[in-house]
Amino acid sequence: MSTLKSPPAWVKDAVFYQIFPDRFSRSGKVDMGLRLDAWDEPPTTTGYKGGDLWGVIDKLDYLRDLGITALWLNPIFQSASNHRYHTHDYYRVDPLLGGNDAFDELIAAAHARDMKVILDGVFNHASRGFFPFSDVAEHQEKSAYVDWFRIREFPIAPYDEDTPATYDAWWGIHALPVLNTDLPAVSEFLWDVATHWIERGADGWRLDVPNEIQTPGFWDEFRTRVRAVNPEAYLTGEIWHEATEWVGEAGPFDGVMNYPLTTATIAYGIGNRIDEAAIVDNNDYFVTPGLNAGAFADRVDWLHSIYGPEQRTAMLNLLDSHDTGRMMSMAGGDPELVILCLAILFTMPGAPCIYYGTEVGLEGGPDPDCRRGFPWDAMDAAPTITTAVEELISLRHAQPGLRSADFERLGPMPGPDFGRTYLYARGTGAERVVVAINHADEPDEVPLTAEVLVPAATRLWGTAVQDASNALQMPPRSIGIWNAPQP
């Protein structure tokens, strides 16, 4: 069992799958006379496509067969937005998703398949429809809930988009009033929400913009209360940059969304072949310029130097998400480049996370285009990617070394020759695995010593070849993964 400050033991073995509920699967069970956008039409910022939690339940066997062991659901609570980051009611699953009954059924069905479910917690800001803010909008300075928010001037005009909000609002968006967590009643409300859904069966939280809650001790108390209910609950935060103060003994979370690894992986795996139209505008999202093998290795070494072994294995590693362009679009539709990045994702320390549809080559540019409906009627559009995902997940489950904290850089070594091929080892002893990736459009030859890769090493996956001289012959855009035991 995990201690209060150590990550849950199950996370290092997990393979996550991120689901945007409105766009994953429509069950047909939510019949509320809804006007829904066509499933295959381009997504919009306001339209609903009608995916629901019953639809997620219908696809659990598909996810299990893929090798998924944990789900991260984007917000599911009642809201007036298709992404549901505008929370109206923190205690009610949105009726469009099937309501609380669908949630209970999903938890039961997922747990019956040994799958975990973590929820998206949006606790920095609420919405215009959140009942305390509605009361303020109705009664202005006479509202009993005035202190729940940071209001600078009355009257507030939450629907007047032509003038700046006179209250703190996330990124100045009128619809997203910031909660005043300095008020003890607000913090208590949010902590109760957090424990309520853990008690109801959720296995953890992904916390939205947690760095924007500045109330001293808020997240430490959040962790204490959640872990008191479930000592194995996983807490991960949306931090886009280096986050040592947020994890381990110094911080409240088990891990964070590992965007520094995301961006480095894309800059190496796709490199200067990236389609810049698919890149999101975020100050912490550095996918250009491209990286060679040495520069990428240096970036990975830095990440491993700032986090301890437990934190490395509890990071939520990802390639794309609801906030970024999709991998297939960033790669300009080239599945080989996507597979290079996937190979890195599944062989690095941390819990890999697949964004729904990436495994079938779903395309999409920046929001809202990255939130398209899952192409259930065209799942064979990118069979090479699907096969690679299935095989890489299976390999990760089968090889304990790939799920360990152990990591050794094998090449290129620091120096003037930064090369094309990145070479590293995972695990130790009989569980040691060696990974080689050549991101270039040209072949590469990598001489090796027997200490790096013994001649009798067993190739587990990929097209790279170990020749008679114990050199690696790396075709263009190639991957090689070996079981390479050491005494």
CA-nearest of 193, 246, 465 to 481 is: 465
Q: How far is CA 38 from CA 53, 299, 329, in A?
A: 18, 43, 22
Catalytic (active site) residue 208: yes
Residues 6+ away with beta carbon under 8 Å from 7: 234, 254, 255, 310, 311, 313, 314
3-state secondary structure 217-232: CHHHHHHHHHHHHCCC
Beta strands in 208-350 (DSSP E): 234-237, 255-256, 316-318
Q: Tell me how far the alpha carbon of residue 382 is from its chain's centroid.
A: 22
Q: Where are the alpha helices (DSSP H) in 32-172?
A: 53-58, 60-66, 99-112, 131-139
Pairing between β-strand 316-318 and β-strand 255-256 as defined by DSSP bridges: unpaired
Count Cβ atoms below 10 Å from residue 381 Cβ, excluding itself.
Answer: 15
Percent helix / strand / coil, the chain, rounded to 5: 35, 20, 45
Phi, psi values for residue 177, rounded to 5°? -65, 135
Residues 6+ away with beta carbon under 8 Å from 462: 343, 436, 478, 479, 480, 481
Could you give the CA distance from residue 286 to residue 65 in angstroms, rounded to a whole number?
Answer: 34
Q: Residue 345: how many CA atoms within 13 Å on its side-chain side? A: 33
Q: What angle (nearest 5°) sits at the alpha carbon of residue 417, between those of residues 486 and 414?
A: 55
CA-nearest of 131, 126, 111 to 70 is: 111
Could you give the CA distance from residue 149 to residue 141 in angstroms, rounded to a whole number?
Answer: 11
DSSP, residue by residue, 54-76: HHHHHTHHHHHHHT--EEEEPP-
CB-based contact 64:70 (threshold 8 Å): no
Catalytic (active site) residue 238: yes
CB-based contact 342:385 (threshold 8 Å): yes
The active-site residue out of 52, 94, 120, 208 is 208
The active-site residue out of 238, 310, 320, 444 is 238
- Which two structure tokens, joined as six digits, stand for 12? 């290092």
Longest dimension (CA), the chain: 83
179, amino acid identity? L
Active site residue ranges = 208, 238
